[in-house]
């Protein structure tokens, strides 16, 4: 059996950090020992941090590779492989690739289905051993759409759907309560005129009125059929959270207010915020700052969202903020693993998957020196 020992490392363990070594055998953590001794044949980490591989629950990064410029559809296999390699190099060893289900193929606001085809391509590459890290699917169920029911019916328990999030982007509530923020975002991104924007808002509201109740019910039912975890998105009020909890939701993505985050904890729902929000010092949509929730002990999990390199930065930043590096790193390792029911990873302890990363900090910036997945070095 292959064996690798990482020695003289600052180990980030559940609840503590210490100088020691970790031994990986046959894809699992075999033992953890304290001390700075470097046995013959071991990797001398020179005091670098060794921590669990990062767990990413919500990232749009794959979509960025598939459409690197507006109107450019890049070959999917190449895009998936590049996305996978990028994440491995940044210390992410498990990813839930976000794909939208629920499209609007008619009218001025057009968004065509793509998730089933893309998921099949990704799973095929995985089956052929072409990917370095562990991939699951995160289906973003867009309530305000036309095709959600048909698109979700195309997936099943065999598709590694780990998360289904209920997304409601109807203008005037949740993420875009402030219509002026939505106007700036949509008009800037899509080049819409003021008249086009007004039509856009009216169209989405009409879709929500026509399909919203059915789509929400079907999304919850389909998540149960897949065996996936349910997540809410952009909860804003205590009432939103109460509805989420009634659905059996265990993960709240990006609650927009302190009220909603507090209500989540009251219902036993984990709160996830975006790393870019934390690093930039606030939300680009004008919602609650992740740092504020962290200071109130209302932040449990961090997602890189749209900047993969932000995930490790955020975990280290929270470790510094809380004066507890093990706690900070847990928000990007153990806590997301537990939220996704992946109890075999996200921690360094005997028996866990040997998904590990070696990290240095140079002038405050994190540098991933090496990444191992199931004991094999992949970056």
| Tens-place pLDDT, residues 333-347 | 999 999 999 999 999
List, in sequence order, every residue forming a beta bridge with 370; answer none if it has no partner. Answer: 358
Give the predicted TM-score (pTM) of the model: 0.91
Mean pLDDT of the chain: 91
| Portions of the chain given CATH number 3.20.20.140 | 54-344
Averaged pLDDT, 209-238: 92
Catalogue the E-assigned strands of the chain: 3-13, 16-25, 28-34, 43-44, 49-52, 54-59, 92-101, 134-142, 161-167, 229-233, 251-253, 270-274, 301-303, 356-362, 365-373, 376-377
| CATH T-level assignment (fold) for domain 1-51+345-379 | Urease, subunit C; domain 1 (2.30.40)
At residue 188 the predicted structure's pLDDT band, cuts being 50, 70 and 90, is very low
Among residues 177, 52, 375, 196, which one has the least CA distance to residue 186?
A: 196
* CA–CA distance, 156 with 150 (Å, rounded to integer): 13
pLDDT, one tens digit per residue, over 255-279 is 999 999 999 999 999 999 999 999 9
Q: How big is the CA angle at 237 (ends 178 and 189), to the nearest 5 degrees?
A: 30
The DSSP element (H or E) to which 62 belongs, if any, is helix 61-66
Would you say residue 45 has pLDDT above 50? yes
Query: May I ask the CATH architecture of the domain 54-344?
Result: Alpha-Beta Barrel (3.20)
Contact 301, 251 (CB under 8 A): yes
Residue-wise pLDDT tens digits, 358-367: 999 999 899 9
pLDDT given for residue 174 in this prediction: 56
């Amino acid at each position: 059996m292959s064996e690798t020992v990482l020695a003289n490392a600052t180990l980030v363990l559940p609840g503590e950090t210490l100088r020691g070594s970790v031994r990986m055998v046959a894809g699992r953590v075999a033992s953890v020992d304290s001390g700075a001794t470097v046995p013959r044949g071991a990797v001398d980490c020179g005091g670098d941090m060794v921590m669990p591989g990062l767990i990413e629950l919500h990232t749009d990064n794959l979509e960025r590779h598939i459409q690197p410029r507006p109107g450019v559809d890049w070959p999917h296999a190449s895009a998936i492989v590049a996305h996978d390699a990028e994440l491995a190099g940044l210390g992410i060893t498990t990813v839930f690739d976000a794909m939208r289900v629920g499209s609007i193929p008619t009218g001025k606001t057009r968004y065509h289905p793509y998730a089933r085809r893309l998921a099949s391509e990704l799973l095929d590459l995985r089956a052929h051993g072409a990917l370095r890290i562990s991939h699951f699917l995160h289906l973003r169920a867009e309530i305000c759409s036309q095709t959600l029911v048909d698109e979700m019916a195309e997936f099943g328990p065999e598709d590694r759907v780990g998360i289904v999030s209920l997304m409601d982007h109807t203008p005037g509530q949740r993420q875009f309560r402030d219509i002026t923020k939505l106007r700036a975002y949509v008009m800037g991104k899509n080049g819409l005129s003021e008249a086009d924007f007004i039509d856009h808002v009216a169209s989405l509201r009409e879709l929500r009125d026509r399909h919203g109740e059915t789509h929400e019910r079907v999304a919850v039912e389909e998540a149960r059929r897949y065996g996936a975890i349910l997540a809410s998105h952009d909860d804003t009020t205590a009432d939103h959270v109460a509805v989420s909890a009634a659905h059996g939701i265990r993960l709240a993505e990006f609650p927009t207010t302190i009220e909603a985050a507090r209500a989540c904890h009251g219902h036993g729902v984990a709160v996830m915020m975006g790393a870019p929000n934390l690093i930039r010092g606030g939300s680009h949509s004008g919602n609650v700052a992740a740092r504020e929730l962290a200071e109130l002990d209302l932040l449990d999990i961090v997602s890189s969202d749209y900047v993969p390199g932000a995930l490790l930065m955020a975990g280290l930043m929270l470790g510094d903020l809380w004066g507890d590096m093990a706690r900070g790193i847990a928000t990007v390792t153990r806590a997301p693993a537990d939220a996704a029911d992946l109890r075999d990873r996200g921690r360094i302890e005997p028996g866990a998957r040997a998904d590990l990363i070696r990290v240095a900090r140079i002038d405050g910036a994190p540098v991933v020196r090496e990444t191992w997945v199931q004991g094999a070095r992949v970056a």
